[in-house]
Amino acid sequence: MTQEPEQAVEEQDARDDDDAYALRPKNVTAILYAVDTDDREQLVALLEPLHPADIADMLEQINAFDRMRLIKLYGKEFDGDILSELDESIREEVIRTLHPEVLAEAVRELESDDVVDLLEDLDEAQQEAILEVLEDSDRVAVEQSLTYPEYSAGRLMQREVVMAPEHWNVGEAIDYLRSTEDLPEQFYHIVLVDPKLRPIGNVGLGRLMASRREVLLRSLISETFHVFPVTRPEGEVAYAFNQYHLISAPVVDENERLVGVITIDDAMAVLDEEHEEDILRLAGVGEESRLSDTVLETTKQRLPWLAVNLMTAILASIVIAQFEDVIAQVVALAVLMPIVASMGGNAGTQSLTVAVRALATKDLTGSNVWRIIRREGTVGLVNGAAFALVMGVLEYLWFGSAVLGMVIAAAMVINMLVAGLAGIMIPVVLDRLKIDPALASGTFVTTVTDVVGFFAFLGLARVVLL
């Protein structure tokens, strides 16, 4: 059957939309061909239209040998923004590959927060090499930021801040902006400060440009204004940005003096990293897992969690071993056991995912935890009853035993109820104990559902059938 031209165009457009922001394989092939033929002019022409984030993605996707050759051939065109977009797992390798002069020029282009992010994971010798190429004022600012706790607002902020005295009017602010040569490349607010450099409010650029010159800046202060101390954890900063729809916010030192500003792009990057870490932890593959990792690195990250899973599987097998006599006499039990355990495990994972996500976003609190626990328990009970009916009928049609059908139905209800409760309660308890629920919950929930599922099914079978 021939496809209509309009339908073919629509399907192609849909595919293009799906890949709208992905690197096309033919582009990567063309870039690697330019590297293979040592054609620097063609390489620069191919990379020039690409955003630094796309170039960083490509460097992460190709192998280490091609990456080294591309960087060396690209030479002085290498943009500092590419470094800030690179995944930490290969950033150090790229820095080692860059010629010192190219690295120096690339780093000079970056704002202070990007330089701090760049330096955090490097060894002392590499840090010193990069700091040496910075101007004295920039070096002092970066070194001071590095003294703040890791994963804090002090590390996340940029030192380039546009500030104005609280008594200025719009005209004075505009004249200042026009005459200043070292403004940040991007900023969203002017921070008003008192004589002691303490921030008292933000003035958005939109309101500034829409007001007459004689209007006082104090009258244009934004209603939503949050100030973060340098020691505030970056996760809490990112949560506040997301919760209160902030665009930028000042950061103050221990004396409440303005020392920097955090912008929305950096806050959202933190949220993205935390979500990614939670997903990796839930899957038990290690929070540092990356596509660019080697076989050895990936194996080392996953092996411990597989070992933990092995121990939980052995525990479930020990439970099964207690009912060898029942299984030997009713072989159908061996066929049906995986169904009970699998349904409980999936139900527990559903509740667990909801709980971990709610804890991360601070939606699950002491005020609503018991309501959510009751809800998940009820959902587990209802789902258990529904699938118990299905499995009871299916078992009767399969094996012709009404009694065995009632046994698996009862076990299904018990396990689904326990799975729903375990999936919500285990993360909550771990969170109260200051243990990352994303890291440890999966193992506990799987163990509980397997053990309870096998014990309920085989225990009921022993009581009823023997």
Chain mean pLDDT for the chain: 85
H helices present in 62-158, as ranges: 64-74, 80-85, 88-97, 100-108, 112-120, 124-132, 136-146, 153-156
**Burial zone of 371 (CB within 10 Å; 0-12 exposed, 13-18 middle, 19+ buried):** exposed
Q: Is the dihedral of CA 210, 214, 217, 222 positive or negative?
A: negative
User: Which residues span the domain enclosing 428?
Assistant: 295-465
Regarding whether 300 and 266 lie in a shared domain, the answer is no
Give the pLDDT confidence score for residue 399 in this predicted structure: 84
Give the pLDDT confidence score for residue 2 in this predicted structure: 47
Calculate the CA 259 to chain-centre distance. Answer: 27
Lowest-confidence region among 63-72, 133-142, 238-247: 133-142
Give the pLDDT confidence score for residue 293 in this predicted structure: 61
Burial annotation 212-249 (CB, 10 A radius, 16+ → b, else e):
eeebebeebbeeebebbebebbbeebbbbbeeeebbbb
When pLDDT is averaged across residues 248-267 and rounded to a whole number, the result is 94
Give the pLDDT confidence score for residue 9 in this predicted structure: 41
Contacts of 406 (CB under 8 A, 6+ apart): 392, 464
Instruction: Give the residue carrying structure tokens 């900023």.
Output: 187
Say which DSSP state 323 is in: T
Is a pLDDT exceeding 60 seen at residue 11? no
Amino acid at 430: L
Regarding whether 301 and 269 lie in a shared domain, the answer is no
Regarding whether 443 and 300 lie in a shared domain, the answer is yes
Give the pLDDT confidence score for residue 367 in this predicted structure: 84
Regarding whether 28 and 135 lie in a shared domain, the answer is yes
Q: Is the dihedral of CA 127, 128, 129, 132 positive or negative?
A: positive
Q: Find the distance separating the first CA and the last CA of the chain, reported in whole Å.
A: 61
Give the pLDDT confidence score for residue 5 in this predicted structure: 44
Is a pLDDT exceeding 80 seen at residue 285? no
Length of the chain: 466
- What is the count of structural domains for the chain? 3
Report if residue 322 sits inside a domain.
Answer: yes
Query: What is the rounded distance in angstroms from the CA atom of residue 260 to the CA atom of residue 258?
Result: 6
pLDDT in tens, 339-381: 888 898 889 888 988 888 888 777 888 888 899 999 999 999 9
Q: How confident is the model at residue 1 (pLDDT cuts 50, 70, 90)?
A: very low
Report if residue 2 sits inside a domain.
Answer: no
Regarding whether 275 and 385 lie in a shared domain, the answer is no
Percentage, residues of the chain above pLDDT 90 = 37
Regarding whether 208 and 114 lie in a shared domain, the answer is no
Using alpha carbons only, how large is the chain's radius of gyration in Å?
Answer: 29
Is a pLDDT exceeding 80 seen at residue 229? yes
Is a pLDDT exceeding 90 seen at residue 262? yes
Q: What's the angle, vertex CA 427, arms to CA 425 and CA 429, rounded to 5?
A: 65
Lowest-confidence region among 4-8, 45-49, 142-146, 196-200: 4-8
Highest mean pLDDT among 165-174, 277-286, 349-358, 440-449: 165-174
Give the SS3 label for residue 88: helix
- Which CATH number covers residue 92? 1.25.60.10
Report if residue 348 sits inside a domain.
Answer: yes
Report if residue 17 sits inside a domain.
Answer: no
pLDDT in tens, 33-50: 999 999 999 999 999 999
